[in-house]
Amino acid sequence: MEKIEFLNNGSVTSVPGFLAAGVTAGFKKSGAPDFALVYSETPASFSGVFTSCTFAAAPVLLGREKVRQGGTLRAFAINSGNANACTGAQGLENARKSCDIAAAKLNVPASDVVVASTGRIGVQMDMSLIERGFELAVPALSAQGGNDASRAIMTTDTVPKSVAVKIRINGIDVTIGAMTKGAGMIDPKLIAPHATMLCCITTDADVDNEVLAGLLLPCAQDSFNRITVDGDMSTNDTVIIMANGRSKVKIVPGSVEYDLFREALLTVMQKLAREMVMDGEGATKFVTVKVVNARRREDAVLAAEAVANSLLCKTAWFGNDPNWGRVVAALGYSGAEFDPAKCNIFYDETPVVRNGGDAGTPECDLLDVVKKREFVITCDFGEGDEEYWVWSSDLSHEYVTINADYHT
Cα-Cα-Cα-Cα torsion 60, 76, 78, 14, nearest 10 degrees, comes to 130
Distance between CA atoms of residues 38 and 75, nearest Å:
6
| CA neighbor of 391 nearest in space, from 283, 312, 316, 295 | 283
Q: Could you give the C-alpha distances from 377 to 272, 288, 302, in angstroms and in order?
A: 22, 6, 15
Strands 286-294 and 374-380: parallel
β-partners of residue 346 are 351, 378
Q: Is 51 designated active site?
A: no
Tell me the C-alpha distance between 329 and 331, whole Å: 5
Catalytic residue among 196, 202, 267, 361: 196
**Helices 297-309 & 325-333, crossing angle to 10 degrees?**
130
What is the distance of C-alpha 190 from the center of its chain? 9
Q: Which residue in 178, 179, 170, 146 sits closest to 247, CA to CA?
A: 170
* Max intra-chain CA distance, the chain: 69
174 in Cβ contact with 39 (< 8 Å):
no
Is residue 64 within 8 Å of residue 236, measured between CB atoms?
Answer: no
Report the candidate in 55, 73, 243 with the shortest Cα–Cα distance to residue 63. 73
Catalytic residues: 196
